Structure 1
Amino acid sequence: MRRLAAVFVSAVRDEARVLVTRRWDAFVAFGLPLILLMVIAAMLAPGVIRQAPVAVVDQDNSAFSRAAIRNMEASAGVRVTHAPATMTEAMALMRRGEIYSVAHFPADFSDGAFRRPEQVTVSFNGAFQTVGALSALGQSAAIASAAGQQLQERARQRGLPETALQLPAVQVSIVGNPQLSFELFLGGLLAPGVLHLLAACSAVLAVGRQMQGGSFKHFEAETSGFTTTALIGRLIPHFVVFSLWGLAWIAWLSGVRGWGVAGSLPLLILGMLALMAVSVVLSAFLVAALGEVDMAFSATAIYSGAAIAFSNGTLPLDHGPRFARIWSDILPYTHYLRLQTGQLVAGATSASAWRDLMILSGVTVLGLIISALFIRVRARLVPKPENLNFPLPQQGVIAAFAATFRNLPRARPVSSLLILAVVLYAFYYPAAYAGQAATGLPIAIATPTQTALTRTLVEDLNASREIEVAAVISSPAEGFELMRRGVVDGVVVLPQRFEADLLRGAPTGVAIWLNGGYLVRVTAVGRAVAAATAQVAEAQLKGLPDIARAVRLAPTLKQVSLFNPTEGYGGYAVPAVSLIILQQTLLLGAGVITAVRRETGAARLKRSARLGLWLALTAIGTASSLFYFGFVFWFQDYPRAGNLIGVLLLAPIFSAAVAAVGLLLGALFDRHERVLQVLVGTSAPLFFLSGAAWPHFMMPEGLVWLAHFSPSTAAVQAFVRLNAMGASLSEVSGLAAILTGLAFVYGGLWVVGGPARSDLRR
């Protein structure tokens, strides 16, 4: 027993010393989490999108349109920044990214409004759907308010009571996140996912250091056969460090930022500890099972890097492809996020949290047992010699260019990133969004009496694509309990005299309670329920001819999603994420090449050879980009080919910038595995910094300025506009200039400077 304790203590002490004394291990454990969490906190601090820039094309110039514009200017959600004369001018503003939605009042609109049915159109940028849809909602609400005032005036002219023209008010209340804050939603989704990935990458190298040539023979001898005890000891420091970061983020979000904990804080803490435990144990399993650190890193990036997408935290996968649903249930992060959302936001019961805790704990124990068995098996193997090199001629542009392609099949760590990962992610990541929209989301209807109207409402709700009625109950309390247990996503509460009040022309309101932990679901459920309720109410009003006729004369609002006509979540998210995938695979592949050469003490390349290597990687990146923008977007049916010439011109510039960054960064690392250990965890923050999901005008200016040092920031904005929106080169000229400048600066640093020395000690 003393020997066992000594082995454990020694392993913990040795690994802790590594985390403190080795600069890159220390950076991954302490520096990188701090940087990324600070970025996430600063980026999402505003919480709610406000003052989104919008435009109004007022070709009517009437009292009604002016009233609607005044309402927009008084709104906190939108800011009227442009008043173009035509929709053509407005579309140019949208393609340049200066506005996110536009309201169009057609000429002579006021002559027909309130006398015959007329329509106001609010068009929004569906390629940047989050801010586009919210800005359209703000403009639509302002127009509806102005129309209501005009309609009441018509009612008075007809001698009708004002209340007679009112449809039932629909009051939507969000449980746990009443402000619809993206800080709570995205902060709770993004930060734990990033820490999950960082912990896993840190632990991969911790276990990988104990393996030589696919064998743990030396590890077994060093620990006197107590490999399992030593393995646990090696994992403990990583578990402790990243658990503390996770708890610090919970303290920041719920304490410092004041969001509180709706459920049980102890269960939330246990959930974070369970997530970090399973993260480090699965890393040990992957290293021991695969026998290669490079493959273990790749597997970690696959299961953990895309965990946020498959977690049900954004687009629900309940009715998605079978693979996506099964994979989501397998991934540990799905179970943690469900636990966190229930306890942090929704005030869920402890039973559901304990179920997820047991799953995470069970996977941890099972993973540890299997890892220990694999280590014992590999301890009997003779270490294989490692053939790690990437030979290049010291000079010659063409010679280095050709040698780069010649080496790809032989250098598996490089080819797996530059070729296999590119192809794999083209089909793997979009699987999470193949459903495109939230469908079949369960809700409950709470009504004291079930009448013909209630049955009609249930039928209309079930007929909608977004939702289905899972239960009709007698009291709201039953519905809230179902929502806390995760059985339903929302509760529709009908008042006692709903039908009678509606028929006498003085309808009472309808309450909708939604789970604020999932903002995508909130939007889908709220919109479907409100539309169905209004439709049923209007059908009842047909029995009152004067009222029905007046209501029909009210101007209608139509929202149009531009550049993403289906409003599909995949059509909005994947084209932007694709740029992050293209950047990260090329960045990692280029970094591994220079890191391998430094690790193996390869001769320093002269400028001509460095130029040849850079051009070869630029060609590979360009081919990968065109593969995505051409075949993959066509195969997945995403918006594409809006400006093919612009895409063809910018793809090489983007690839050149990324390749140069990767070559420069790779020269900093003492071993090639460090490239993945350090850089893989930056993918998700880089996506949000691009402004695709959370707009730049809501971020601190300094952070946006720093974000543009990553080529992906300008590339996401430029290529989404070129592919989906058909923007001209002049409309993305500023973004093209940024990419060109980055390519020249980073490329010049690589070609002129290159690594200081290729034979530095590890």
Structure 2
Amino acid sequence: MKRATAVFVSAVQDEARLLMTRPWDAFVAFGLPLILLTVIAAMLAPGVIRQAPVAVVDQDNSAFSRAAIRNMEASPGVRVVHAPATMQEAMTLMRRGEIYSVAHFPAGFSDGAFRRPEQVTVSFNGAFQTVGALSALGQSTAIASAAGPQLQERARQSGVPETALQPPAVQVSIVGNPQLSFELFLGGLLAPGVLHLLAACSAVLAVGRLMQGGSFKTFRSQTGGCTTTALMGRLTPHFVIFSLWGLCWIAWLSGVRGWGVAGSLPLLTLGVLALMAVSVVLSALLVTALGDVDTAFSATAIYSGAAIAFSNGTLPLDHGPRFARIWSDILPYSHYLRLQTGQLVTGAATDAAWRDLMILGGVAVIGLILSALLIRLRSRFAPKPETLSFSLPQQGVTAAFIATFRNLPHARPVNSLLILAVVFYAFYYPAAYAGQAAAGLPVAVVTPTQSALTRALVEDLNASREVEVAAVIPSSAEGFELMRRGVIDGVVVLPRRFEPDLVRGAPTGLAIWLNGGYLVRVTAVGKAVAAAAAHVADAQLEGLPDIARAVRLAPTLKQDSLFNPTEGYGGYAVPAVSLIILQQTLLMGAGVVAAVRRETGAPPLRRSVRLGLWLALIAIGTASSLFYFGFVFWLQDYPRAGNLIGVLLLAPIFSAGVSALGLLLGGLFDRHERVLQVLVGTSAPLFFLSGAAWPHFMMPKMLVWLAHLSPSTAAVQAFVRLNAMGASLGEVAASAAILTGLAAVYGGLWLMRGSLRVDLSR
């Protein structure tokens, strides 16, 4: 027992000393988490999207349209920045990224409004769906408010009582996140996922250091056979450090930012500890099972790198592909996120949290046992010789270009990133969003009486794509309990006199309670319930001709999703994420090439050889981009080929900037595995910094400026518009200029200096 304790303490001390004294280990454990968490906190601090830039095409110039515009200008959600004369001009502004939605009042609208049915169209940018849909909602609400006084005046002239024009009020209440804050939603989703990945990558290299040529023979002899105890000691510092980071983030959200903890803080704390325990243990299992650090890093990136997408935190997977649902249930992060959402946001019952906690704990224990057994098994074999090289000729652009491709089949760490990962992620990541839209989300209807109107409402709800009625119950308390337990996503409460009040023309309101932990579900459930209630009320008014006539004379609003007509979540998210995938695979592939040459002591490259290597990587990156934009988008039916010429022109420029940056960064690392250890965890923050899901006008200006140092930021803005929106090169000129400038600067640094010989290894 004393010997085992001594081995454990010695292992903890040795690993802690490495983490404190080796610069890159210290950076991954302390510096990188601090940087990424600070970026996430600063980026999401505003919480709610406000003052989204919009336009109005007022071809009617009537009192009604002017009233609607005044309402928009008074709205906190939108800001009217342009008043183009035609929709064509408005589309140009949208393709440039200057506006996210546009309201169109057609010529002669006031002549027909309130006398015959008329329509105002609010078109929004579905390629950037988050801010586009919210800005369209803000404009639509302002227009609807302007219609009220006009409708009342028309009713007065027709002799219809004002009360008869009141549709049933719908009060939407959000449990746990009443402000619909993206800081709480995305912050709670993104930061733990990034820490989960960083902890896993840190532990991969920690266990990999104990292995030589796929064998743990030396490790066993050094620990006197106490390999399990020593393994636990080596993992402990990583577990402690990243657990503390996770708890710091919870303290930031719940304490400093004031969101509080709706459920049990001890359970939430145990959840963080369990997630980090699973993170480091699964890394040990992957290294010991695969016998190769590079392959273990790739497997780690697969299971934890896309954990956010498959977590059910964004688009629900309930009716998605079977693979996505099964994989989501397998991934540890899905269980942690459900626990965190219940305890941090909605105050869910503790029994579900304990179930998820036991699953995480069980996985950690089983993973540790299997890792220990595999170490004992691999310690019986002698280490295999390890060959690592990426040889290039002494001079010649063409010779270096050809040699790069000749090296690919033999340099497994490089080809797994530049080729295999590109193909794999083209089909793996979109599987999380194959369902495109939230569907079949369970809700409960609370009503004191079972009536024809109740049955009609249930039928309408079940007929919608978004929701299905899981229960019709008499008690609101029962409905809220079902929602807190995660059984349903919403509760529709009908008051006792809802039907008789509706029939006599003075309807009372109905209430909708939604789970604020999942904003995508909130939107889908809220829209479906409101539409069903309106339809039932309209049908009930059919027997009252005067009222029905007056109500139908109100102008109707149509929201039109441009560039993503199905409003599919995959159609909006995947094209943007694809640019992150293309950048990160090329960035890390180029970085590994440079790091391998440094690690093996290869001689410095002449400028002609550096140019040939860079051109080869540009060719690989361009081919990968065209594979995604030309084949994958077609196969997955995502918006594509809007401006093919523009895509063909910018793809090599994007690849040039990324590959040059990767070559520069790779020269900083002491070993090639560091490239993945450091860069993998930046992928998710880079996606949000691109402005695809969270707009740049809501971020601090300095952060936006820093974000543009990554080619992916300008690339997302440019390629999404070229592919989905058919933007011209002139309309993406700013993003194209940034990409060109980055390619010139990074490429010039690579050609002028080669690898940066800064010794950060020891």
Say whether residues 1:340 and 2:359 are aligned partners: no
Distance 2:44 2:757 in 1: 40
Kindly state the Cα deviation for residue 672 of structure 1 after the two structures are TM-superposed: 0.2
* 1:649 corresponds to: 649
Say whether residues 1:207 and 2:203 are aligned partners: no
| 1:758/1:252 CA distance change after superposition, 3 Å | closer
Kindly state the Cα deviation for residue 102 of structure 1 after the two structures are TM-superposed: 0.2
Say whether the 8 Å CA contact 2:664–2:756 is kept in structure 1: no
Say whether the 8 Å CA contact 1:173–1:514 is kept in structure 2: yes
Amino acid aligned to 1:2: K
Kindly state the Cα deviation for residue 473 of structure 1 after the two structures are TM-superposed: 0.4
Amino acid aligned to 2:735: L
The CA deviation string for residues 226-267 of structure 1, in whole angstroms up to 9 with x for no partner, is 000000000000000000000000000000000001100100
Kindly state the Cα deviation for residue 26 of structure 1 after the two structures are TM-superposed: 0.2
Kindly state the Cα deviation for residue 122 of structure 1 after the two structures are TM-superposed: 0.2
* 2:635 corresponds to: 635
Say whether the 8 Å CA contact 1:33–1:245 is kept in structure 2: yes
Amino acid aligned to 1:71: N
* 2:230 corresponds to: 230
Amino acid aligned to 1:647: V
Q: 1:542 is paired with a residue of what secondary structure?
A: helix
* 1:511 corresponds to: 511
TM-score scaled by structure 1? 1.00
Distance 2:103 2:706 in 1: 34
Distance 1:204 1:531 in 2: 51
Say whether the 8 Å CA contact 1:602–1:759 is kept in structure 2: no
Say whether the 8 Å CA contact 1:598–1:758 is kept in structure 2: no
Distance 2:162 2:155 in 1: 6
Amino acid aligned to 1:630: G
| 1:757/1:70 CA distance change after superposition, 3 Å | closer
* 2:558 corresponds to: 558
Amino acid aligned to 2:567: E
* 2:377 corresponds to: 377
Kindly state the Cα deviation for residue 610 of structure 1 after the two structures are TM-superposed: 0.3
* 2:400 corresponds to: 400
Q: 1:319 is paired with a residue of what secondary structure?
A: coil
Say whether residues 1:742 and 2:742 are aligned partners: yes
Distance 2:483 2:672 in 1: 48
TM-score scaled by structure 2? 1.00
Amino acid aligned to 2:110: S
* 2:171 corresponds to: 171
The CA deviation string for residues 207-244 of structure 1, in whole angstroms up to 9 with x for no partner, is 00000000000000000000000000000000000000
Say whether the 8 Å CA contact 2:213–2:385 is kept in structure 1: yes
Say whether residues 1:541 and 2:541 are aligned partners: yes
The within-5 A match list for 1:131-530 is: 131-530=131-530
Distance 2:757 2:19 in 1: 25
Kindly state the Cα deviation for residue 158 of structure 1 after the two structures are TM-superposed: 1.2
Distance 1:147 1:374 in 2: 71
* 1:56 corresponds to: 56
Q: 1:384 is paired with a residue of what secondary structure?
A: coil
| 1:714/1:279 CA distance change after superposition, 3 Å | same
Say whether residues 1:671 and 2:671 are aligned partners: yes
The CA deviation string for residues 462-486 of structure 1, in whole angstroms up to 9 with x for no partner, is 0000000000000111100000010
Q: 1:511 is paired with a residue of what secondary structure?
A: strand
Amino acid aligned to 2:281: V
* 1:723 corresponds to: 723
Q: 1:392 is paired with a residue of what secondary structure?
A: coil
The within-5 A match list for 1:563-642 is: 563-642=563-642
Distance 1:136 1:450 in 2: 37
| 1:759/1:336 CA distance change after superposition, 3 Å | closer
Distance 1:429 1:114 in 2: 49
Distance 1:552 1:74 in 2: 27
Distance 2:19 2:156 in 1: 76
Say whether the 8 Å CA contact 2:668–2:760 is kept in structure 1: no
The CA deviation string for residues 322-378 of structure 1, in whole angstroms up to 9 with x for no partner, is 000000000000000000000001110000000000000000000000000111000
Amino acid aligned to 1:476: S
Distance 2:394 2:661 in 1: 21
Aligned residues with identical type, % of pairs: 86
Distance 2:471 2:357 in 1: 28
Distance 2:465 2:614 in 1: 50
Q: 2:260 is paired with a residue of what secondary structure?
A: coil
Kindly state the Cα deviation for residue 758 of structure 1 after the two structures are TM-superposed: 9.6
Distance 1:680 1:720 in 2: 23
The CA deviation string for residues 559-578 of structure 1, in whole angstroms up to 9 with x for no partner, is 00000000000000000000
Kindly state the Cα deviation for residue 757 of structure 1 after the two structures are TM-superposed: 4.3
The CA deviation string for residues 12-48 of structure 1, in whole angstroms up to 9 with x for no partner, is 0000000000000000000000000000000000000
Kindly state the Cα deviation for residue 394 of structure 1 after the two structures are TM-superposed: 2.2
Q: 1:308 is paired with a residue of what secondary structure?
A: coil
The within-5 A match list for 1:68-87 is: 68-87=68-87
- For structure 2, the residue ranges without an aligned partner over 5 or more in a row are none
Moved more, 185-194 or 146-155: 146-155
Say whether the 8 Å CA contact 2:119–2:558 is kept in structure 1: yes
Kindly state the Cα deviation for residue 755 of structure 1 after the two structures are TM-superposed: 1.6
Kindly state the Cα deviation for residue 425 of structure 1 after the two structures are TM-superposed: 0.1
The CA deviation string for residues 690-731 of structure 1, in whole angstroms up to 9 with x for no partner, is 000000000000000000000000000000000000000000
Say whether the 8 Å CA contact 2:95–2:721 is kept in structure 1: yes
- For structure 1, the residue ranges without an aligned partner over 5 or more in a row are none
Amino acid aligned to 2:230: A
Q: 1:215 is paired with a residue of what secondary structure?
A: coil
The CA deviation string for residues 585-618 of structure 1, in whole angstroms up to 9 with x for no partner, is 0000000000000000001100000000000000
Q: 2:543 is paired with a residue of what secondary structure?
A: coil
Distance 1:542 1:398 in 2: 79
Q: 1:560 is paired with a residue of what secondary structure?
A: strand
Distance 2:137 2:10 in 1: 60
Say whether the 8 Å CA contact 1:604–1:758 is kept in structure 2: no
Distance 1:406 1:752 in 2: 25
The within-5 A match list for 1:636-715 is: 636-715=636-715
Kindly state the Cα deviation for residue 756 of structure 1 after the two structures are TM-superposed: 4.2
| 1:31/1:515 CA distance change after superposition, 3 Å | same
Distance 2:243 2:434 in 1: 33
* 2:124 corresponds to: 124
Distance 2:167 2:251 in 1: 44
Say whether residues 1:22 and 2:16 are aligned partners: no
* 1:755 corresponds to: 755
Amino acid aligned to 2:467: I
Kindly state the Cα deviation for residue 160 of structure 1 after the two structures are TM-superposed: 1.6
Distance 1:552 1:432 in 2: 41
Kindly state the Cα deviation for residue 636 of structure 1 after the two structures are TM-superposed: 0.2
Distance 2:258 2:664 in 1: 41
Kindly state the Cα deviation for residue 759 of structure 1 after the two structures are TM-superposed: 9.7
Distance 2:617 2:705 in 1: 27
* 1:89 corresponds to: 89
Say whether the 8 Å CA contact 1:603–1:758 is kept in structure 2: no
Say whether the 8 Å CA contact 2:610–2:751 is kept in structure 1: yes
Q: 1:164 is paired with a residue of what secondary structure?
A: helix
| 1:166/1:760 CA distance change after superposition, 3 Å | closer
| 1:756/1:132 CA distance change after superposition, 3 Å | closer
Kindly state the Cα deviation for residue 442 of structure 1 after the two structures are TM-superposed: 0.1
